Structure 1
Amino acid sequence: MTVDPGKTPLYIDGEWHASDSDDRIPVVDPTTEEAFVSVPSATEAEVHRATAAARAAQPEWERRPAKERGDLVREIADLLEDNVESLADTLVREQGKTRSVAEYEIEASADIARYMSEWDRRIEGDVVPGSEPRQSINLLRKPYGVVAGIIPWNFPVSVFVRKLAPAIVTGNTTVIKPSELTPVTTLELMDLIHKEVNLPSGVLNIVPGGGAVGAGLVSDDEVDYVTMTGNVDTGKAIMRNAADDLTRVSLELGGKAPAIVAADADIETAVENIVASRTINAGQVCTCVERIYVHEDVREEFEERFTEAMRAVEIGDPRDDPDMGPQVSANELEKTNNAIRHAVEQGATVAAGGAGVDEAPAETGFWIQPTVLTDVDQDMDVIHEEVFGPVAPVVEVASVDQAVEFANDSRYGLSSYVFTESYRDAMRIAEDLEFGETFINGSGGAQQGHHIGWNESGIGGEDGKYGAMKYTQIKSVYHNFD
């Protein structure tokens, strides 16, 4: 890596720059608790320099043939595939992901870039009949202009690519703010792009920093579209700030994903999928299973097998690729432990795990045990408030109808899971769940699908045709040739 993230972390108009800011943000290794670099936070003037560069570059970028834009995004996909190991090294260090999950994120990012690049020759409008003699109406897809992307810490590479690729393929230019917790992998990838991909100056700009940088991007007059992945409160603040200029907004926010285990479910399949969902990335995934509704006929069997499986999860140094590494920060660890303690105060029983780790993998690190909570009621806070850690409350239900009722009793509406061998129940439950996506007898999405939250889980969506086309707006052109 030729760029020094501690000295020249700003990428503006095709060049690396030092920041004028004295405000420095330490990047901490979650395994050692040591700051291995501190990154300056961009100033308001530097944010505006980046948005102005994106604005200046956008008209020419839009005029460039879409196929050429797609070719450059395919080069980014190649670059990701060629640098999986080095990028994963950095990602493990700054975020605490296990080695295999970090490598998967880089590989998935390449897949995202390649999939989205193929929309270069699939950006379709419509031709509709006119209302006058010899009239034709063309509905064209046009870019918004300058897109500001605000990236979360839990998937800093894949979400960066998830926003960047469709935005620039459709003719927009971009300014990206990586998370202050995990900016280094993004800067490392930007350095590779700078050296290997001939993106025109101004098409992609990077401004690291904290909340003030994000707020500055949202309120900047040059920004036409804001896409953000993060928590609900930040998303609401972005909508309020964007309202002054009617800036378009897309938000992927929190989740409280339910898993419904019916009486006829394959218990082994349910346990395997729910454990993996709840412990991947130390439970720091907005689509993770966060609450489990189990039919009374199989509740005892499920709890026994699920508790045993959660206890068997291997915790260790993420570089050694165990099942689960540490949480990303002391703050996130404290929030998870507080959620467990509060659930116990409200009457829940800790069947596995609990606050703290009896035999931590090291003297340092933000370690947490996979935790199973039983004797949980629907009105407990742990059922309604997002817990960004490997905590799984189990609630007994008398029927799938009650499970659906309880699942929909939430302000969130991102992901949901159903385990049943009944085709009829699977279809009914999936239709009745008020969530943007539902997984039946499995988990994991696909690039050609659509990842979208309902209710307070967001607006806009990502992936697939609709994730690509959201970066375009429709222009009507009336042709009269009488």
Structure 2
Amino acid sequence: MSDLTIFADQTTEMLKAPYQARHYIDGTYVDSADGRTSERISPSHGIVVSQAALGSAVETEAAIKSARAAFDDGRWSRLPAKDRAAVLNKVADLIEQNVERLAVIETLESGKPISQARGECNGAADLWRYAASLARTAHGDSHNTLGADILGVVVKEPIGVVSVITPWNFPFWILSQKLPFALAAGCTCVVKPSEVTPSTTAMLGDLLQEAGLPAGVCNIVLGYGDPVGSLMTTHSDVDMVTFTGSTAVGKMITKSAGDSLKKVALELGGKNPQVIFPDADLENAADAVTFGVYFNVGQCCNSSSRIIVHEDIADAFVERVVALSRKVVFGNPLHADTQVGAIVTPDHQAKIDGYVKEAVAAGAEVCLGGHHMSVAGLGSQFYEPTVIRGVTPDMAIVREEVFGPVLTVLTFRSLDEAIALANDSTYGLSAGVWSENVHTCLEFCRRAEAGTVWTNTWMDGFPELSFGGMKQSGQGREIGKYGYEEFLEVKSLVMRIGRTRAPWVKMA
């Protein structure tokens, strides 16, 4: 443990009192009808960060009713796109003005480093601005070749009321991958954040109100998946569900939403490979691998938790990654230099540790880490940066989403073997390839079964580029033009100009 880079200083200013998170329904903040609340204890600092209203069917029904009424009367859906865009741009401005307030709460609730929380909240503003631009530039098609007296027009209309369910690991970023695009399309929404990290979503209500979003267009209900989330996915007044979270819960949502044939968009788990060829820039590749597995404490659907390295360079490359891993700064998430913070819950920490212990028992070699640990003054909810080799493709630690700072190493001999190993997964969210040979990179990109493939980089993302997975990593897309179109229905208008239609019934 002494050869790791640990930062335990606690001099950063803390919250003066827990944040009070409340439901936001029909433009008003409300408590739960039964008065129930929940508390979030910081995984890194052990303090009460927030006290949140705990929703029931009462609040969920009210939020859905409000969103339905707001959609049906057209107060948002029938506004000119430039007016919707103006509100979204104002929200982006307000997010930027409140980045520090949002980031501190998110850091304390989730355990992630504050530098990453600042980046997440600041970057979210760009998603709102890009969604605003799509509101003004979306269009359909026209067909004037259907006959001299026929004009066909294809229009795109908002799908209706959308249930937005978000996870705990990137609460503000993932909300901003969904909500502004649904609003840009003219939809109205009911939002449920994770009960683990509810506060930044609740705080967004203030910004929406200040930006001039009409009451009822976005409603926020806090609470657990049962009853809040389950009602949001089955209610007859909801037209679409967009969910980010585990594959197991995504499958449950698909089944429950199927009874009413709601549209469902899912962004689920990943077991993402980076493949490193001998001719790669190994220094940059090792740095990207280290970033990819430890970013957000490894609690990231895009975590590159599985590297596949050519056997000729495997020993040297692993040594390089281990050396970099020792220099990764972990500890107090509120310090600007910290790169790896706390694990979100004790149960999740135990799950991570279980994967590591099981792999070791099966013969894997721990090159670094492999234990949960305590940080002076901050408690024991931390896990060492961990590198494991000597694994086999059938091990759970290689096949399942560990969701922690744990890297596994496989080796290959040929391009075909590397692609086979990369695709040997039930997931297909993202993948990466490292080589200076453009032919190698292009073939890998075309054959990799993943929604995003990075070449000589990792986790570069842009609002213009849609995100989503293949196989059990989900369905549908988020952000970009394709993510925006998830919230639109296509309607064909067939118009006969003049009275040239031949009668079907012949009159005598």
Q: 1:35 aligns with which of 48, 56, 76?
A: 48
Name the counterpart of 1:285: 300
Code of the residue aligned with 2:396 in structure 1: it is: D
Distance 1:448 1:360 in 2: 40
Contact 2:92 2:129 in 1 (8 A): yes
Map Cα deviations across residues 191-250 of structure 1 (whole Å, 9 max, x no partner): 2332x2111110010001111111110011111010000000110000000000001000
| 1:21-420 matched pairs, under 5 angstroms | 21=34, 23-58=36-71, 59-129=74-144, 131-194=146-209, 196-212=210-226, 213-321=228-336, 322-357=338-373, 360-420=375-435
Identity %: 36
Farther-moved stretch of structure 1 (122-131 vs 151-160): 122-131
Name the counterpart of 1:481: 497
The 3 A distance-change label for structure 1 pair 313 and 345 is: same
Code of the residue aligned with 1:375 in structure 2: it is: G
Distance 2:362 2:262 in 1: 43
Distance 2:60 2:145 in 1: 45
Distance 2:192 2:90 in 1: 22
- Gap regions ≥5 residues in structure 1: none
Shift of 1:388: 0.3
Secondary structure in structure 1 of the residue aligned to 2:372: coil
Shift of 1:22: 5.1
- Gap regions ≥5 residues in structure 2: 1-14, 499-508
Shift of 1:470: 1.1
Shift of 1:361: 4.2
Shift of 1:32: 2.1
Code of the residue aligned with 1:27 in structure 2: it is: R
Secondary structure in structure 2 of the residue aligned to 1:60: coil
Shift of 1:363: 4.7
Secondary structure in structure 2 of the residue aligned to 1:350: strand
CA RMSD of aligned residues (A): 1.6
Secondary structure in structure 2 of the residue aligned to 1:323: coil
Code of the residue aligned with 2:252 in structure 1: it is: A
Code of the residue aligned with 1:457 in structure 2: it is: S
The 3 A distance-change label for structure 1 pair 361 and 312 is: farther
Distance 1:151 1:78 in 2: 22
Code of the residue aligned with 1:223 in structure 2: it is: V
Distance 2:70 2:212 in 1: 14
Distance 1:256 1:273 in 2: 16
Alignment coverage as a number of residue pairs = 478
Name the counterpart of 1:458: 474
Secondary structure in structure 1 of the residue aligned to 2:453: strand
Shift of 1:25: 2.6
- TM-score of the superposition, structure 2-length normalised? 0.92
The 3 A distance-change label for structure 1 pair 395 and 411 is: same
Distance 2:204 2:136 in 1: 26
Distance 1:190 1:289 in 2: 34
Distance 1:330 1:239 in 2: 29
Distance 2:149 2:85 in 1: 36
Shift of 1:481: 0.3
Map Cα deviations across residues 395-453 of structure 1 (whole Å, 9 max, x no partner): 11112211110110100000101111111100011111011110000021111111110
Code of the residue aligned with 2:64 in structure 1: it is: T
Contact 2:49 2:108 in 1 (8 A): no
Secondary structure in structure 1 of the residue aligned to 2:461: coil
Distance 2:173 2:143 in 1: 38
Shift of 1:24: 3.2
Code of the residue aligned with 1:34 in structure 2: it is: I
Shift of 1:4: 8.6
Secondary structure in structure 2 of the residue aligned to 1:138: strand
Shift of 1:5: 5.8
Distance 1:34 1:398 in 2: 50
Map Cα deviations across residues 241-286 of structure 1 (whole Å, 9 max, x no partner): 0000001000000000001001211110110001011111100110
Name the counterpart of 1:431: 446
The 3 A distance-change label for structure 1 pair 256 and 361 is: farther
Contact 1:32 1:365 in 2 (8 A): no
Secondary structure in structure 2 of the residue aligned to 1:293: strand
Secondary structure in structure 2 of the residue aligned to 1:367: strand
Distance 1:311 1:228 in 2: 36
Map Cα deviations across residues 366-404 of structure 1 (whole Å, 9 max, x no partner): 101110001111121111001100100001111221111
Contact 2:232 2:238 in 1 (8 A): yes
Map Cα deviations across residues 328-377 of structure 1 (whole Å, 9 max, x no partner): 111221111111111111111110011223x6243514101110001111
Distance 1:150 1:14 in 2: 19
Contact 1:341 1:355 in 2 (8 A): no
Distance 2:494 2:54 in 1: 48
Contact 1:157 1:185 in 2 (8 A): yes
The structure number with the bigger radius of gyration is 2
- 1:445 pairs with 2:461: yes
The 3 A distance-change label for structure 1 pair 361 and 424 is: farther
